[in-house]
Structure 1
Amino acid sequence: MVNRPDNSSSWVRDKIFLGMSFGEYLKSNVTLGNGIAALILAVAIPVMIYRLVYGLGASTNLTDTNPWGIWIGVDILCGIALAAGGLVMGTMYYLFGMKEYHHFVRPAILTSLLGYIFAVFALLFDLGRYYRLPYPMVVSYGLTSIMFLIAWHFALYIVALLVEWSPALFEWLNLRKFREFFSKLAVWATVFGVIIAGGHQSALGALFVVAPGKLHPLWYSELLPVYFLVSAIVAGLSMVIVESMLTHRLFRKQVEH
């Protein structure tokens, strides 16, 4: 009796474990970086649970007078700017035809997608009533609110990034027809994403334009939306450079460039 190879186990080994056995894959992940990440999670998970159970005030000492902590400036204002690499690289490749940068497009789009997803996840801990996060989508339509615009743009841009990234996913799954279909949609998703991303990157700056009393006069300007957009373009490109360098060093056996 001839033993046929198990296609499912072969697929898992090639696609999930990168051609290594399960034991080899586990050993390859025992690194200093993963160890540091595990220590951070060991401290962060109990803190996150404490915040969700006892509330924002008990865990941060924030009040209605000072409702935003310093991490708002880190995870939303800075984090979203750093996630603009997908916007810049997608525009350069799909709209301006700069094909020489095609090696950077997929990593940049994936980095942007993860950045936006993590930013939304972080909002669960930044908002006092985190369970009302989807309210702007289905319950309360604040059409004159900048926060409403940002919430909708975040959601729509995540959808656009998913469409742009999906050809790589379907290529990985060997689904050729789906890959061809979504590859055609990627150009239109990029056009849509340029409008959406440019809008909410500027809107993050507009948050401070409508609240001049919250800013020192040295930092206040009516051009803050423009400054935020330009800063996001530069920060996004910087993140693409750092991400490409780290990817090449850590996964040089799995990637060609």
Structure 2
Amino acid sequence: MTPIRAVLLALVALMAGVAVYRLLYGLGAATNLSDEWPWGLWIGFDVLTGVALAGGGFSTAFIVHILHKHKYHSIARAAMLTSMLGYIIVSVGLFLDIGRWYNFWRPFVFWGYHSVLFEVFWCVFLYTNVQILEFGHIVFERVKAPSIKKIFDAMMPFLFIIGILLPTLHQSSLGSLYIVAVDRLYPTWWSLIIPVFFLTSAVFVGPAMVSFEGWLAARAYGRNFAHEMPVLSSLVKVSAWLMLFYVVLKGIDLTWRGAWGYVFNGSFEANMFLLEMVLFVIVPMIMYFTPGVRNSIGGLVTASVLVVAGVILNRMNVVFTGMATASGGSYFPSWMEWSVTIGLVSLLIVAYCFIVENFAIFEEDQKTLAEINKAYRYGTAQVST
């Protein structure tokens, strides 16, 4: 227990109290949502942004376990852990944003298969459970139960395939929710191919999030981040090419729809779009393409932070900036909304610390555990803590 962890746990406790109040007295008592602003901070950040930032799990799993690029294997577990915790937090945030939360069970029984939200619900629910099962493979390395571990080992190929298919569906479907907002969402963000933009950004933010998370973990636990630099420097080139695809496709889309005038009309929405594209997409893309930048710790971390911030800004622009003029109202989250969001992030950090300190997530821990298991198996060495 450290002072920082004590503060984080206090924020989690506050979040739990506010969550109980919200469930007892409703969204109206706990939030500043209205008919003009039915989707606020919890949907905008906790769900849409949270799902995007958790995309490092499925993109890394695809590269390592489907394309068999084993040089990235050392970072796969950390990416999958961050993704799993992110989706659990997303599920909690989504549950709290349901108006009549006691009807949460209805999608399990009543199949509204014409609804995009129904598909998003099922994909998020199934993918969260798939990730928990994938983590079982790691748990039973630590908890000695060979027969159970064999079951999880046999399940892993199937889980990896399903775990890539499901997020591909719901990452794009979250963008599909805004296709019907053709007369409400500002034209720089609205598009018939907004699902492609959502999916692409969720994939290219994955390596950036893995790099940023790895740097934070290295600082927190005194790990040698330079040891991971060759792997991460190679991985972010995937982001660079996807970001180039994103920029080119965005330009083609604006040209096809004749929407370039909305980009340079000087409005707040136009300026926010330019800020998002230039500072948080084009600049880090160039940094990733530059070997001298991505091969340095400062350059890699800076570019990754810009990419992560850019995806957050994109989701916030879609949810808030792009809808503000058409809504006819105003919205700013209540202190209870902020406390829940901050508390969920605090819970994610505490859970992450507990897991990496007790299970073999980092590469050096995996090697140590393998040596311990080998020593116990053959009785050739004494093992000490």
TM-score (norm 2): 0.55
The one-letter code sitting in structure 2 at the alignment partner of 1:62 is L
After TM superposition, list the pairs within 5 Å mapping 1:167-246 onto structure 2: 167-246=137-216
Q: Give the secondary structure class of the aligned counterpart of 1:213.
A: coil
Q: Give the superposition deviation at 1:233.
A: 0.9
Percent of pairs with identical residues: 36
Report if the CA contact (8 A) 1:56-1:62 is conserved.
Answer: yes
1:57-105 CA deviation, whole Å, 9 max, x = no partner? Answer: 1221323443211331101111001111110111111111111111211
Cα-Cα RMSD: 1.9
What is residue 6 of structure 1 aligned with on the other side? none
Q: Is 1:159 aligned to 2:123, yes or no?
A: no
Indicate conservation of the 8 Å contact 2:60/2:79, yes or no. Answer: yes
Runs of 4+ aligned structure 1 residues displaced above 6 Å come to none
| CA drift at 1:117 | 1.0
TM score, norm. by length of structure 1? 0.81
Partner in structure 2 of residue 50 of structure 1 = 21
Q: Name the structure, 1 or 2, with higher relative contact order (CA <8 Å, separation 6+).
A: 2
Shift of 1:147: 0.4
* Aligned equivalent of 1:141, options 83, 90, 111: 111
Partner of 2:3: 31
Distance 1:183 1:214, change over 3 A: farther
| CA shift digits 1:146-175 (9 cap, x unpaired) | 000001101111122123222101101122
Number of paired residues?
227
Alignment partner of 2:97 out of 110, 118, 126: 126
Say whether the 8 Å CA contact 2:123–2:170 is kept in structure 1. yes
**CA-CA distance at 1:115 after TM superposition:** 0.9
Change (3 A) 1:224 1:61: same
The answer to whether the 8 Å contact 1:62/1:69 transfers is yes
On the 8 A contact 2:43/2:93 being kept in 1, the answer is no
1: CA distance, partners of 2:207 / 2:150: 28
CA–CA distance in structure 1, aligned partners of residues 35 and 111 of structure 2: 23
The one-letter code matched in structure 1 to 2:174 is: L
Structure 1 alignment gaps of length 5 or more: 1-28
Distance (Å, rounded) in 2 between the aligned partners of 1:237 and 1:57: 38
Q: Residue type of the partner of 1:169? A: V
1:9-35 per-position Cα deviation (integer Å, ceiling 9, x unaligned): xxxxxxxxxxxxxxxxxxxx2133x14
